[in-house]
Structure 1
Amino acid sequence: MKRARAHVARLYPDKRQSAVLDGQAHAARAVWNLLHEFATFRQGRLASLKECDAAIREARHEIEWLGQLPAQAAQAVLKIYRQAWANFFNPDHPAERPAFKSRLRSRMAVDVPQASRLRITRINRRWGVVNLPKAGRVRFRWTKDLPGVTKGGPSGRVTGARLVKEAHGWNIVFRTEVFVPVPVPHTGPKAGLDRGITVPLALSTGKHLRHGPWLTGGERERLLRLERKSARQRASREKGAPVSNRERRTYDQIARLRATAKRRAVDWQHQTTTDLARRFSAIVVEDLNIMAMTASASGTVAEPGVNVAQKRGLNRSIAGEAWGRTVEFLTYKSADRGGLVAQVRPHGTSQECHRCHTTTAGSRETQSRFACKNPACGWIGNADTNAARNLLHRYNSAAGRAVTGRGDSGMPGPVKRQASCPTVSPAPALRAAA
């Protein structure tokens, strides 16, 4: 079977090459904005694919600086823009309406759709070079063998790449296709997985998966100093005045520290989810509406919210754990190994005893301690482990009884089995947009 994957590597361009890539990224953003204006400011309908393609060619001919962007990259912008409309028109795809891209708020990115132009070469164990249009040969960090590039590597090919600028610099995302055997069904045990803040991941086996702070003590102190410095600079700037270069440098330093924390968090999630996917045939998690859970509690002027600062801190902690990204990683890694990820109804998993399956007031004594108040049971243990075991029980009950209804009576709700990342065909929506 053919498996599509992406591999991210750090690029190390020199100053000239970095300036070329910056110019291409700004030109790509301008092409997006021009396309959006051309496609939407019409009478009663969106522009067709042919009309958008002709508009891009005319704009590249009339606007000289748009020539910094290679023609293939401009066509990739059109393809992504059309896909954004297809996702918006698709009722099963939670996508927002395409909008203009701001210079300061949008991520700088350039597509290299033709893999033959990359000419990837490995220099040594740690470094490789890649050919980028109009930038030349650029070094990148070699951390994983690319299919079809190195002898003895995985069978497959590189189909293209995308250049993305983050806070720490430029990255290259290789799009790859690897030929692998069809995975056989996983024969390992099943496990419930409870996501939290004090305990990031709690398994039904009783094991807790923890991590330390993403930044060291010195990095946290430096981040605090920079945030206070940016607050002083922002307060001293007149309203409506442009941001100074010093203030912008402060923001860049803050962004680099936060990007460092995110890279470490993603690395921990990758290692943890890979280990879980190897060990368990089915991983059961809660079907959480994370967006609703992290909604603001500020309220309105007429009806202001209560405990706003506490809720803001809770939302920040939930966002820092990235529960949705954990499930996303588990989903495709389990599918690669013949397993699955199932989501069950979360209602009452923290208050119900996993042994007697009764809900008694006061059983959840503290954040970490659960003591069943049922005289016939009396189980005492960790609250997160208890919740994880309830998730596994609900999955097993739903699989055995074929439960299809959702209710609050303690019966297991419907199970969402996710074997792989969903794919959406854009053809019907593209025809509707055209």
Structure 2
Amino acid sequence: MKTYRQAWANFFNPDHPAKRPTFKGRFRSRMAVDVPQGRDLNIVRLNRRWGAVNLPKVGRVRFRWTKDLPGVTKGGPAGRITGARLVKQAHGWHIVFRTEPQVSAPASHPGPPVGIDRGINVALALSDGTMREHCDGLTAGEKEHLRRLEKKSARQRRTRTPGQPTSKRLRRTYDQIAKARATAKRRAFDWQHQTTTELATTFGVIKVEDLRITNMLRSAKGTAEAPGKNVAQKSGLNRSISEQAWGRTVTLLEYKSADRGGQVVKVPAPGTSQTCHRCGHRDPASRNGTVFACVNPVCGWGGHADTNAAININNADGIAVPGRGDLGVTRSVKRQPPRAA
């Protein structure tokens, strides 16, 4: 009830980005148990790898120690533990601690600005000419193992009598498939964390396109009166965009840049991939897949299309995204802060 009340308070707060609370989806929600108070957890570090915590209705439980906790780890960051949450995933139960660290306001980031173009063939293309390739979640052997598990589950489903409970063997196969997919997802999430941390540490101003990803993922089926075209191709494109997690990349960059004194700027998306960054001529014929060749006879610049788009994003003016603890404050990236008299 405390969490539910706070959710409504955040929704009615005009300065908070929270949306209206909704019901939990039966199949879209993670199995989790919340421990709202942190004073009775009594967290103790047993050794380098393990710790112990008190959980209501459960008792003393050991957990794998993976990160320093404020107010608990000797020589670690200052702060306190405000609560915890037990989350069940495909690999087992995990405990997540809510922390309240004591940090000072960061100084302005001295790093240079950079434009980032998010894509499918190239995960992140930077305006300095470098690229960040997305990691492959599974190895070739793991992909083959997953393929065989999926074929095995299909055979088991064919022999299942409709209306009868799922057999233990089929449930075991489902669990193995879930673990393989969870491994790929965790590796992709880890790559995303490492990449965004490196970008937020290197660059002071990070510019990205202001994409409406929800609109981009709409189905092409259409209606009975006006059926859509290329439905299967559009479905494959939607899956590829979802796998890249473009929105989560920007979310990670926002709070990591704010913690380091930088900022994330969103610029208008139209025309960035069809405009030559050297002469400014815009023509859809200039881009052919991943190759950009300016059709302007005076210019004739050629190179990687994603790099050209990233340079256009870096040259564009936009609106700074508010960081953590700085809600509602926006400033044009080209406008200098007022000087003291």
TM-score normalised to structure 1 length: 0.70
Of 69, 87, 91, the match for 1:168: 91
Match of 1:369 in 2: 291
Of 108, 133, 155, the match for 1:210: 133
Alpha-carbon spacing, 1:90–1:214, altered in 2? closer, same or farther (3 Å): same
Alpha-carbon spacing, 1:311–1:421, altered in 2? closer, same or farther (3 Å): farther
Of 274, 282, 297, the match for 2:220: 297
Distance 2:132 2:40 in 1: 44
Unmatched tracts of structure 2, length 5 or more? 329-341
SS in structure 1 at match of 2:180: helix
Distance 1:241 1:95 in 2: 41
Distance 2:162 2:209 in 1: 46
Match of 1:329 in 2: 252
Match of 1:382 in 2: 304
Amino acid at match of 1:106: S
Q: Does 1:156 align with 2:60?
A: no
CA RMSD of superposed structures (Å): 2.3
Per-residue deviation at 1:270?
A: 0.8
Of 286, 290, 295, the match for 2:209: 286
Per-residue deviation at 1:111?
A: 1.1
Amino acid at match of 2:99: T
Distance 2:214 2:177 in 1: 25
Q: Contact 2:71–2:81 at 8 Å: present in 1 too?
A: yes
Match of 2:332 in 1: none
Q: C-alpha offsets along residues 143-190 of structure 1, whole Å, 9 cap, x if unaligned?
A: 211111122111111111111111111111111111122101111100
Distance 1:139 1:239 in 2: 42
Say which structure, 1 or 2, has more relative contact order (CA 8 Å, 6+ apart).
Answer: 1
Distance 2:100 2:24 in 1: 32
Alpha-carbon spacing, 1:237–1:296, altered in 2? closer, same or farther (3 Å): farther
Amino acid at match of 1:166: Q
Q: Does 1:99 align with 2:3?
A: no
Distance 2:208 2:260 in 1: 18
Query: Percent sequence identity over matched residues?
Result: 62
TM-score normalised to structure 2 length: 0.88
Distance 1:142 1:384 in 2: 41
Of 400, 403, 415, the match for 2:319: 415
Alpha-carbon spacing, 1:228–1:423, altered in 2? closer, same or farther (3 Å): farther
Per-residue deviation at 1:302?
A: 3.8
Matches within 5 A, 1:11-410: 78-85=1-8, 93=17, 95=19, 98-99=22-23, 101-102=25-26, 105-365=28-288, 367-395=289-317
Match of 1:36 in 2: none
Distance 2:243 2:135 in 1: 12
Alpha-carbon spacing, 1:100–1:273, altered in 2? closer, same or farther (3 Å): closer
Unmatched tracts of structure 1, length 5 or more? 1-77, 396-413, 425-434
Choose 368-377 or 343-352, whichever is displaced more: 368-377
Amino acid at match of 1:351: Q
Q: How many residues align?
A: 327
Distance 2:234 2:13 in 1: 34
Distance 2:198 2:115 in 1: 15
Amino acid at match of 1:292: N
Distance 2:190 2:11 in 1: 31
Amino acid at match of 1:142: W
Amino acid at match of 1:250: T
SS in structure 2 at match of 1:163: strand
Q: Contact 1:132–1:138 at 8 Å: present in 2 too?
A: yes
Amino acid at match of 1:388: A
SS in structure 2 at match of 1:117: coil
Distance 1:97 1:303 in 2: 35
Match of 1:12 in 2: none
Distance 1:238 1:302 in 2: 38
Q: Contact 1:332–1:421 at 8 Å: present in 2 too?
A: no
Q: C-alpha offsets along residues 335-390 of structure 1, whole Å, 9 cap, x if unaligned?
A: 0010000111100110000111110241102x211111111211111100000000
Distance 2:301 2:61 in 1: 61
Distance 1:328 1:81 in 2: 24
Amino acid at match of 1:419: G
